[in-house]
Amino acid sequence: MSWSVAVVGAGPSGLFAAQSLIRKRPDIHIDIYDRLPTPFGLLRYGVAPDHTSIKSVAVALARTFEAEQVHFRGLVHFGKDVTRNDLLGAYDAVIYAVGASEDLRLNILGEELIGSTSAREFVAWYSGHPDARDYGLTGVTSVMAVGVGNVAVDVARILAKDARALDSTDMPETVLGELRRAAVRDIWLVGRRGAQHAKFTPVELRELLKTPGLAVDCDPADLDGIDEDHLDRRTSTNLSLLREAQSGAFDGEVRCTLHLRFWRRPLELRGDSEVESVVLGGTRLDDDGRVVDSGLREEIPTDLVLRAIGYRSVPLPGVSFDADRGIVPNSEGRVLTPDGAICPREYVVGWIKRGPIGVIGTNKSDANQTVTHLLADLDPNSSVSTVESRRRLSDTLAARGVSPSSFDDWKRIEKAETNLGMQHERDRTKIETWHELLDLCRSR
Ligand SMILES: Cc1cc2nc3c(=O)[nH]c(=O)nc-3n(C[C@H](O)[C@H](O)[C@H](O)COP(=O)(O)OP(=O)(O)OC[C@H]3O[C@@H](n4cnc5c(N)ncnc54)[C@H](O)[C@@H]3O)c2cc1C
């Protein structure tokens, strides 16, 4: 039997799923759709540009396309260019791997002011995502990241670093230029719970705290009186790192100060049309462990507020969705209706399956689990898909004016980025505009 599977989303989870499929069933045909002409999802557009070793996972993921039965179909937006019914009519199974493309909001007064945005959008900008809007950092001296997870740490580090230290990354030239001109003096990291509850991991925290030219300001009281008997290793290491940074004398020239503010949450962003300050409210835990107002108030002059309190997935048209949990409801990757019944031939992997948690590697075992169920569910005696059913889908897309890009198109983008990098004496420089990406796809 010759089966075929459509994967929607060419991020790490979609590519791990495809790799798992071909490893287990080398004869299976796989088409991987993405709305972008570039594969790798957040590995390309989320993982920080200066984290080059994790970025190199892309080399291993690109091997997915070496198998001749695996095809990349970029520039196809599920829900706009192609529908659930289209895919279920052409393939034996569909795997949704679209990640989490939105973020959580603070829902406070002033959140709509200019200068209030999400870390997600800021990350998209410095990563050269074609949908990202430009950021002007001229005149920005004080930046507040709301949240104490690794995304907040990433944006703080990128802003704290001397831009010359970012020359070796693949950031777009426009972004590097803006960061070179920037003169951020104060970076605030604000967490509504204590240092012992922060989600950042020691490797990322240590890297931030050791940024050359960065002084650290953390209230010693926030690190005192913590019952450390039952803390996990990650948290104990975080606390040691914070204590060391807070007590360490800073020798050398201070370019920027990192202010860590635990037990605070933003209550209001103030300013006429642009953010000028943030009112923080103190917090504490009540007897039931809930975060409540401590009554303390503090107003901090700020030019840019980046909320980094979590990503969230958006519903896919026609596909089951659990709005409360922000995921496609599923049982180990098998898509379920809201009532818990199995949706035959539909599967999920990655952040849309389990929520926006976990590192790149987490998506591998997660994809394996889904693929094991998918293969067990395939009917050994029949197949929905044929070469003809897939050709009909290609004709439908063409009739809609949709012209999918291929992996060769991506290789052309990659080559152009390497060439652009050479012009600036860098290994690679990302191309960040839609029109340039599309031109490269059309120059076949
Ligand atoms: C800022 C940030 C930094 C991170 N840093 C690290 C790190 O240093 N190390 C680490 O291990 N992990 C890191 N992670 C986590 C890692 O990026 C995720 O675990 C991983 O990317 C999730 O993979 P995914 O395939 O589920 O989603 P994604 O990577 O988001 O991929 C989803 C893909 O689906 C496509 N898509 C979305 N909607 C549609 C649609 N409607 N139609 C067609 N295609 C669609 C997208 O274009 C994208 O290519 C980071 C995450 C973030 C947000």
Q: What is the pLDDT at residue 215? A: 94
The last residue of one of the domains, among 267, 285, 307, is 307
Q: What is the pLDDT at residue 183? A: 93
Q: Does residue 443 lie within any of the structural domains? A: no
Query: Does residue 61 sit in the same domain as residue 147?
Result: no
Nearest Cα to 189, choosing from 245, 147, 242, 161? Answer: 147
Residue 207 pLDDT exceeds 70: yes
Q: Does residue 234 lie within any of the structural domains? A: yes
Q: Which of the listed residues 32, 36, 47, 407 should we mutate to test ligand 1's pocket, taking the one with most ligand atoms within 8 A of CB?
A: 47
The last residue of one of the domains, among 259, 285, 307, is 307
Closest residue (by CA) to atom 35 of ligand 1? 9
Q: What is the DSSP letter of 64?
A: G
Q: Does residue 427 lie within any of the structural domains? A: no
Query: Does residue 88 sit in the same domain as residue 184?
Result: no
The answer to whether residues 313 and 327 touch, using CB atoms and an 8 Å cutoff, is yes
Q: Write a three-state SS string for 196-226.
A: HHCCCCHHHHHHHHCCCCEEEEECHHHHCCC
Nearest Cα to 142, choosing from 184, 180, 181, 178? Answer: 184
Pairing of strands 142-146, 186-190: parallel
Query: Does residue 84 sit in the same domain as residue 114?
Result: no
What backbone torsions phi and psi does residue 419 show, to the nearest 5 degrees? -60, -45
Query: Does residue 267 sit in the same domain as residue 345?
Result: no
Residue 251 pLDDT exceeds 80: no
Q: What is the pLDDT at residue 250? A: 67
Q: Which of the listed residues 95, 96, 98 should we mutate to test ligand 1's pocket, taking the one with most ligand atoms within 8 A of CB?
A: 98
pTM for this prediction: 0.96
Q: Does residue 434 lie within any of the structural domains? A: no
DSSP H/E element including 58: helix 57-62
**What is the CATH number for 377?**
3.40.50.720
Residue 229 pLDDT exceeds 90: no
pLDDT by residue (tens digit) across 413-441? 999 999 999 999 999 999 999 999 999 99
- Nearest atom in ligand 1 to the alpha carbon of residue 99 is 27
Beta strand ranges found along 74-209 (DSSP E): 93-96, 102-103, 116-118, 142-146, 186-190
Cβ-based neighbour number of residue 433 at 10 Å:
12
Q: Which of the listed residues 7, 31, 34, 42 should we mutate to test ligand 1's pocket, taking the one with most ligand atoms within 8 A of CB?
A: 42
> Higher model confidence: residue 247 or residue 153?
153
Q: Does residue 442 lie within any of the structural domains? A: no
User: How many whole angstroms from 193 Cα to the centroid of ligand 1?
Assistant: 27
Residues 377-395 have a mean pLDDT of 91
Closest residue (by CA) to atom 41 of ligand 1? 78
Residues 12-17 have a mean pLDDT of 98
The answer to whether residues 175 and 429 touch, using CB atoms and an 8 Å cutoff, is no
pLDDT by residue (tens digit) across 154-204? 999 999 999 999 999 999 999 999 999 999 999 999 999 999 999 999 999
Query: Does residue 302 sit in the same domain as residue 401?
Result: no
**What is the CATH number for 180?**
3.50.50.60
Q: What is the pLDDT at residue 380? A: 86
Q: What is the pLDDT at residue 249? A: 66
Ligand 1 in reach of 124 Cβ (< 6 A): no
Query: Does residue 298 sit in the same domain as residue 341?
Result: no
The answer to whether residues 50 and 136 touch, using CB atoms and an 8 Å cutoff, is no
DSSP H/E element including 374: helix 362-377
pLDDT by residue (tens digit) across 342-379? 999 999 999 999 999 989 999 999 999 999 999 999 98
- Lookup result for tokens 């493309």: 101
User: How many whole angstroms from 247 Cα to the centroid of ligand 1?
Assistant: 37
Q: Write a three-state SS string for 386-435.
A: CHHHHHHHHHHHHHCCCCCECHHHHHHHHHHHHHHHHHCCCCCCCCCCHH
pLDDT by residue (tens digit) across 291-341? 999 999 999 999 999 999 999 999 999 999 999 999 999 999 999 999 999
User: How many whole angstroms from 71 Cα to the centroid of ligand 1?
Assistant: 20
Query: Does residue 258 sit in the same domain as residue 342?
Result: no
User: How many whole angstroms from 38 Cα to the centroid of ligand 1?
Assistant: 12
- Residue 99 tokens read as 């990640």
User: How many whole angstroms from 12 Cα to the centroid of ligand 1?
Assistant: 7
Ligand 1 in reach of 350 Cβ (< 6 A): yes
Q: What is the pLDDT at residue 330? A: 98
Q: What is the DSSP letter of 10?
A: -
What does the alpha-carbon distance between residue 126 and residue 147 come to, in Å, rounded to a whole number?
19
3-state secondary structure of 366: helix
The CA–CA distances, whole Å, from 235 to 154, 197, 264, 311 equal 18, 8, 19, 22
CB neighbour list of residue 146: distance below 8 Å, 6 or more residues apart: 106, 152, 190, 265, 266, 305, 306, 307, 308, 309
For a pLDDT cut of 70, what percent of the chain falls above it? 99
What does the alpha-carbon distance between residue 5 and residue 51 come to, in Å, rounded to a whole number?
33
User: How many whole angstroms from 57 Cα to the centroid of ligand 1?
Assistant: 13
Query: Does residue 288 sit in the same domain as residue 318?
Result: no
Ligand 1 in reach of 41 Cβ (< 6 A): yes
Query: Does residue 351 sit in the same domain as residue 374?
Result: yes
Query: Does residue 266 sit in the same domain as residue 379?
Result: no
Ligand 1 in reach of 43 Cβ (< 6 A): yes
Q: Does residue 432 lie within any of the structural domains? A: no
Ligand 1 in reach of 151 Cβ (< 6 A): yes
Q: What is the pLDDT at residue 384? A: 86
Give 134-139 contacts, CB < 8 A, sequence gap 24+.
134/174, 134/178, 135/178, 136/178, 137/178, 137/179, 137/181, 137/182, 137/184, 137/304, 138/181, 138/182, 139/303
The last residue of one of the domains, among 286, 307, 328, is 307
As a whole number of Å, the end-to-end CA separation of the chain is 34
Domains identified in the chain, total number: 2
User: How many whole angstroms from 350 Cα to the centroid of ligand 1?
Assistant: 8
User: How many whole angstroms from 170 Cα to the centroid of ligand 1?
Assistant: 18
User: How many whole angstroms from 146 Cα to the centroid of ligand 1?
Assistant: 21
CB neighbour list of residue 202: distance below 8 Å, 6 or more residues apart: 234, 237, 238, 241
Dmax (CA) of the chain: 73
Query: Does residue 174 sit in the same domain as residue 89?
Result: no
Q: Does residue 431 lie within any of the structural domains? A: no
Query: Does residue 153 sit in the same domain as residue 295?
Result: yes
Check the CA dihedral 288-293-296-298 and report its sign: positive
Ligand 1 in reach of 80 Cβ (< 6 A): no
User: How many whole angstroms from 28 Cα to the centroid of ligand 1?
Assistant: 25
Q: Does residue 424 lie within any of the structural domains? A: no
Query: Domain residues for 298?
Result: 104-307
Q: What's CA 356's distance to the chain center, in Å?
A: 8
Helix axes 119-126, 173-181, angle to 10 degrees: 110
pLDDT by residue (tens digit) across 72-128? 999 999 999 999 999 999 999 999 999 999 999 999 999 999 999 999 999 999 999
